[in-house]
Amino acid sequence: MVRRRRSRSRDWGPTAPPVWPGGGGGGGSTTTRRSSCGSNSGGAEPERPPLNMAAAEPRFTDAAAAAAPLPSPGPVPVLFCFSVFARPSSVPHSSGYEALIQKFLSLYGDQLDMHRKFVVQLFSEEWSQYIDLPKGFLVHERCKVRLVPLQVQLTTLGNLTPSSTVFFCCDMQERFRPAIKYFGDIISVGQRLLQGARILGIPIIVTEQYPKGLGSTVQEIDLTGAKLVLPKTKFSMVLPEVETALAEIPGVRSVVLFGVETHVCIQQTALELVGRGLEVHIVADATSSRSMMDRMFALERLARTGIIVTTSEAILLQLIADKDHPKFKDIQNLIKASAPESGLLSKV
Measure CA 107 to chain center: 10
Selecting among 81, 169, 170, 265, the annotated active-site residue is 265
From CA 205, how far away is CA 249, in angstroms rounded? Answer: 12
Annotated catalytic residue 171: yes
Annotated catalytic residue 232: yes
Q: Which amino acid is at 166?
A: V
Contacts of 74 (CB under 8 A, 6+ apart): 93
Rg (CA), the chain: 39
Measure CA 57 to chain center: 54
| Residue 118 near residue 111 (C-beta atoms within 8 A) | no
Selecting among 169, 185, 232, 285, the annotated active-site residue is 232
Selecting among 171, 181, 185, 285, the annotated active-site residue is 171
| Catalytic residue ranges | 171, 232, 265
